[in-house]
Amino acid sequence: MGAQEEFSEYVGSRWPRLVRSAVLLGCPAHEAEDVVQTALTRCLVHWSKVRRADDRDAYVHRVLVNTFTSARRRRWTGERPVEDLPELGGADETVAVDVADAVQRSLDRLSQDQRIAVVLRYYAHLDEQQMATVLGVAPGTVKSRLSRALKVLADDPDLSELRGTS
Amino acid sequence: MSEHDLPDLLDRVADRVAPGPPPLDAMLAGARHTRRRRTTTVLAAAAVMAVVVGGSALVFNGVGEGARPTPGTGAPTPASIVPDGYRLVGAGTAAIAVPEEWGTNRTQCGVPKRNTVVVDQISIPACGTTRPQDVQSVEITEGKPRFDFAPDETTEVDGETAQLQTTRCENQSLGGDDTPRLLCSRTTRFPDLGVSFRAESSSQPEALAREQVEEMLAHVRVLDDKVAVPGHEAISTTVSEGAGPLYVERLREAGLAAVVVTERRPRIQFGHILHINPAPGTILDPGDVVTVTYVR
């Protein structure tokens, strides 16, 4: 299989989850696809490296995290004035919105390093060794970031009061 | 909320995001565009041609196919990589564009005296000297990072993982002068390549020095199809004789070809390297020729 076919197959199977990972990392939903597109394009340019990588998913996540953090540094994070506020109509999704808001607010309370660790471990389901490779840190650092992050989340009143969760 | 709830909570949040189809065509086109911007030179077979020439005369004819005699300034590099008025200097495949008017190794006892890029400078004689004010420098090193390197961020340059030690400004006694002066520094290191770029500025005020070190490191690149002439100091400072042949081996490993010129120097040990052309740090195409002159 050629590099292009291999890449296309990989993107076909991973695209939705990578975009969702970018959102959980803190990327606004409308920018998440752009960030993932940039990261995957970089991977394609260096596809031989991706192929050689011991763990392809870990390599791609490393590029995604680096792309996200670079984009975040460049991006102006202030409020954008708009003439008309967006409509938020539709079905009653109160419970789902409550959960999403609470989780997003809780993730926002984490440091960037902690948030990345949480997403990689509990959404991308990378193990600690893979995370150490992705983040370029020692496994012990991964453990301590996760441990601190979990403590912050455990103490977060927004999460503890969620309806439908324990 | 417990650790066990977290995967489910994250899934519930993530499932609210409905990504569109992957823009595969745009990604393929983007990758093609990036590749076109790179030079199209294909990595030539790394052949070392040990042409031992007595005396200083160089003979390029008949040294073998695939090797191109290299001008002293190195092969031309695409304008997209090097801004106007800049030249590339590097180690391995990592390089930095520095202003053309900057010198190379304009140092005294390791201390930059004028704007300079510092390459392959390992053995530094001890002496008391000061760094003048308003001097900018970039030091390129290979191997282990400096003792005080502590990365603050991890990012990516041209697809390669890069660690960044953000700008630090400290009052230092910059040599033998007792008057402390402000020196700002910033470092980009490629851990997988083992190459570090440390930018320093002694300009005043501090804001200017901070701006300068950031600007210097904005020109760091990783080149897939270029390679720097390796340094020889790491070899020359660790072996008592035979450094020349070992350096030729290093050139081969870097994908460069070598022409060897030997000279008789009765009081100097065999293999002592007298001259390398183009100089270490010069960016070349793989397969280009480097002339090494050492004592026979």
Domains in chain B (CATH in brackets) are 53-70+227-295 (3.30.10.20), 89-222 (no CATH)
Q: Where are the domains of chain A?
A: 3-74, 94-158
Higher pLDDT, B18 or A97: B18
Higher pLDDT, B35 or B151: B151
Number of H helices, E strands in chain B: 5, 18
pLDDT at B84 over 50: yes
Q: Give residue-wise pLDDT tens across range A121-155.
A: 999 999 998 898 888 888 899 999 999 999 988 88
Domains A3-74 and A94-158 share a fold: no
Whether domain A94-158 has CATH 2.60.120.10: no
Give pLDDT, residue B82: 80
Higher pLDDT, B241 or B96: B96
Amino acid residing at B95: A
Instruction: Name the residue among A29, A49, A150 with its Cβ closest to that of B3.
Output: A150
Give pLDDT, residue B173: 62
Residues of A in contact with B159 (CB under 8 A): 42, 45-46, 49, 63
pLDDT at B288 over 60: yes
Q: What percent of chain B has pLDDT over 90?
A: 35
Chain A: closest CA distance from residue B247 (Å)? 28
Q: Give residue-wise pLDDT tens across range A75-100.
A: 444 444 545 554 444 444 455 557 77
pLDDT at A166 over 60: no
Which residues are bridge partners to B168 per DSSP? B185
Cβ atoms within 10 Å, residue B277: 17
Fold of A3-74: Rna Polymerase Sigma Factor; Chain: A (1.10.1740)
A20: pLDDT confidence band, cut at 50, 70 and 90? very high
Q: What percent of chain A has pLDDT over 70?
A: 80
pLDDT at A18 over 70: yes
H or E stretch including B212?
Answer: helix B206-217
Q: Cα A7 to chain center, whole Å? A: 21
State the Cα–Cα distance between residues A144 and B182, nearest whole angstrom: 36
Instruction: Name the residue among A40, A96, A166 with its Cβ closest to that of B27.
Output: A40
pTM across the whole model: 0.51
